[in-house]
Chains A and B, each alone.
Chain A
Amino acid sequence: MTDQQATTHTYETATARIEEIIRRLDSGDAGLRETLELLREGRGLVEWCAGELEAVGQGLEELRLDELVARLESGAPR
């Protein structure tokens, strides 16, 4: 998935699109080229969603606001 896609998606719109893709594939109406394109898009979205879930499932990190501010001021990653 490109950054452009990532910024335009929320988790909800991404999962809604995956559902749509699966419905289209289930219908059996998609030709080979379309199937492969849908699969590519669907896999990209699943990967993106998995990234989102991973970000909120790595273990609760508790910070005080001043610690976060200090971290931001030192230029460390958020």
Chain B
Amino acid sequence: MTRPAGIPGSTLLGPFPVGAYAAKLRDELRKRARVQLFGEVWGFKASKARVYFELRDGEGALPCAMWRNEFDALGAGALADGARVVVAGGPDYYPGSRSSSPHFSFDVTALRLAGEGDLLAQLDLLRKRLDAEGLFAPQKRLARVPLPRTIGVVTGESGKARDDVLAGLRRRGWAGRLVWAFAPVQDRHAAPAIARALQDLSACRVDVIVVARGGGSLADLFCFCDETLCRTVALLQVPVIASVGHHTDRTLLDDVAAESCSTPTHAAEAAVPRHCDDARTQLAAFARRLEGHGRRAVLDRARLLARMSRAPAQHVARQRLALHQSLRELRAAGRRGLAERSRRAERHALVLSRKGAATAAEAARGATLERLRIALDAHDPARTLDRGYALVTDGAGEVVTSARAARHAATVRLRFADAAVDATISDRDPTP
């Protein structure tokens, strides 16, 4: 390859072919003193020949690589995020080739586990501190708008999260104003940039803010655990919905935010709690029912009024009709009553005449009976005795009606009105 001309005006040496420079860079780096470093392991990955991870602390990080057989010889197994290690080795640079990419790494020749991860412990401490300060609560107390007009979204400009947010909003039938606040969502510049974007969106009076980022390791998401960012979010007056990292790891932003969702799509749906199409259908139904009531209220009352306005004439006509009817009925009833009364009178007269005849016959029978009774009484012997006569009977109870019979009887019984006495006849007939 022929060497091209350099940049006009530049006093720097060259131009050199990049491959030669990369090889030189590798040589320079390899010359650096071998050292021991300590930090935490993040994003551990193993390939057939090498293992890769990042060694981190709060200030910075180095990509590390180690031969697989050397690593396996340690018997440490896969290293979890946050595992604290001491490594020995030095920087190395792979210059790449026509078909492979260059990369820098710290070439690890020895590794020792050194206890629990510091970063995770720090994160836990910070979480407890923020919680104790009550910073997890204020966002949750903010009023949420069921139909936000303006939604702010903080996300990476090129990430897939952007499409997911749009999909979620479409699913809600939402088509208002969407304000994109693009920010880096991974490196050490991310947290301040995100905090600034949130403050700017809040100042623009958006109704709700979604902070979205696709999945990644907790190390990738560490910017969302930044203390300043979390304090900023806690004090915002606009609700923030967090959707970072698909929830495999919980960031502090998830704790501080008004709501935390597992995906950007869900976050978008959570930002619009009310489904717009459903709301439209419901509102149309409300409007129809109200109009129905309105129509009925007016029509029913109008009918009533019309009825009332016709009322006097109708009332008189109705009453007249009723009166005529009554009159007819009265006359008919009168006629019926008269006939009935005369029939009843005739019947009464008949009964009376019959009763009169019966009475005369009965009186005659009574008089006869009385006569007979008097006659009988006159013939009653008891009546004669009452007047002072006596009845004479012989011993056989036969009535003695002659002196001769009395002499013959010798003893008789004299019955007076009050009692009977026996008597002996002294004047007896000497010769019968």
Instruction: Select from chain A the residue with minimum beta-carbon distance to B170.
Output: A60
Enumerate the 10 nearest inter-chain pairs by beta-carbon distance, A residue then B residue, closest first: A56-B176, A65-B181, A25-B293, A11-B146, A60-B175, A35-B297, A42-B290, A61-B177, A55-B149, A39-B294
Q: Is A56 within 8 A of B175, CB to CB?
A: yes
| Contact A60-B169, Cβ < 8 Å, known A12-B146, A53-B276 | yes
Q: Does B280 contact A (CB under 8 A)?
A: yes
Contact digits for B256-280, partner A, Cβ 8 Å, 1 yes 0 no:
0000000000000000101010011
Q: How far is the CA of A64 from the CA of B157 in the complex (A)?
A: 11
Q: How far is the CA of A62 from the CA of B197 in the complex (A)?
A: 16
Q: A46-B287, A53-B283, A78-B205 are in contact. List 18 more A-B contacts (CB 8 A).
A: A12-B146, A15-B283, A22-B290, A25-B293, A26-B293, A32-B301, A35-B297, A39-B297, A46-B283, A58-B175, A60-B166, A60-B169, A63-B177, A64-B179, A64-B180, A65-B182, A69-B200, A69-B204
* B183 smallest CB distance to A (angstroms): 9
| Contact A46-B290, Cβ < 8 Å, known A62-B178, A63-B180 | yes
* B11 smallest CB distance to A (angstroms): 38
Binding site for A on B (CB under 8 A): 143, 145-150, 152, 166, 169-170, 173-182, 197, 200-201, 204-205, 272, 274, 276, 279-280, 282-283, 286-287, 289-290, 293-294, 297, 301
A5 proximity list for chain B (CB < 8 A): none
Instruction: Select from chain B the residue with minimum beta-carbon distance to A63.
Output: B179
Q: How far is the CA of A69 from the CA of B152 in the complex (A)?
A: 12
Q: How far is the CA of A58 from the CA of B175 in the complex (A)?
A: 6
A6 proximity list for chain B (CB < 8 A): none
* A64 smallest CB distance to B (angstroms): 5
B290 proximity list for chain A (CB < 8 A): 18, 21-22, 25, 39, 42-43, 46
